[in-house]
A and B are shown apart, each in its own frame.
Chain A
């Protein structure tokens, strides 16, 4: 059984792999340091070692053990930073240019979705806003999705656990993040930043469906909401 919930996004793998990479370093370091801690407690117990050896550790020859350990730690830090740098740039700095844009707005205690409408562009007259309790966000599968995150009242945070995405929604700002979900299905969409009394109920779903189904959904939605 995996220690992570199912990953369904393109970059989720990289985050999961990064965890295991850091875990390797951490477990090695833990084993060494627990040994360094526990061994002397047993070996140099006052019964076995009635008189301590005097050394202050101020000399270079004594301190070089610590220096060596710190050097190894710095090297592992460096490897971790290198490994994560690529993923960070991909997730946070360079959203793909061909992404389909959606608007997601947090409001106590519900999510408001703005669909790009049949023309596939956000910010045009055919946008459809869905603002009702327990509505679901419909997106097409295998498509780069960019979300413009906003909040109307307090801080919220869009949390798609299966896509490994978390991003705060800030009143007065627009934060843009992207994801690409590769498997159709219905996944949790939650709020991860405390936003008041019913913070825990601010949970919807993201419905990932085939492109045809999604286009049909948008057409129906537009027909229902289009100005008569």
Chain B
């Protein structure tokens, strides 16, 4: 009896926490009172029943952020899934991608620092994206061939090598790209506006919806590539059994190189999208390494579906904990939203140590 309870404990706790969170957002939360001090139920907007418009905004923020998370984390999980390389320089590739695209866009439009959206045409956004992704893909290939290839199987050593690269690159970014200050890539004018969703009077940023669309597009493209092409078959075979695949006469090293190139390019692509949506700045390499790590630890390393699920969960927790925590008093409580990332991670790991879709071995 007690052993059974003990085994079910994580599930009970997780279920209870989830149920309470849903109830809280749906009905318990209240908008702050017009006068007097807010009570323990006071949140920024109040419950979803009271204020469905704000709820919808928060939900849209969550899924569009998840789109960006997925672009970056899918590259991370692709590299890990095939090669067992934890690329600690993934956040660095993100940052470099953003900065390279910024420089290119500045050159193309001939503008200084901040560019008004309407002066950027679609091509002036797509060309920097492609070039930045190509540059980072080249750097990724170089790193993989010169430093990681001969260490195959020593995963800790490979992780340390990529950490060394991230240390050097972080310093080089400060030396060569605007002193590491925050810069933004400008969305093309066509997407840089609000659209009327025709539900509950929501006017939502088309740019953010584009991020979501790009995330979905990356997911679909990766799925088709991995499951419908010959290269994809080779890569999946390499994930399952590297030695057998290479014994069958397949050039597994080529598959490794391709996976590393695609993974690095996705990090750079994510960097450009991130720089367009907000900004990139020195120090964000660590933040995006963390984001990728959290997503793939939740979802399970090496799993595309896991990366999608992890992105969505992380995006939801991130967005809702920032908006729906009580706002009582000066020191409470929205600042604790970071703790919820940890709680999410702890809940998932306590009953799925390899993440939601991770496979043993």
> Do the two chains bind?
no
Question: Hey, which bits of chain B sit against chain A, CB under 8 A?
Answer: none
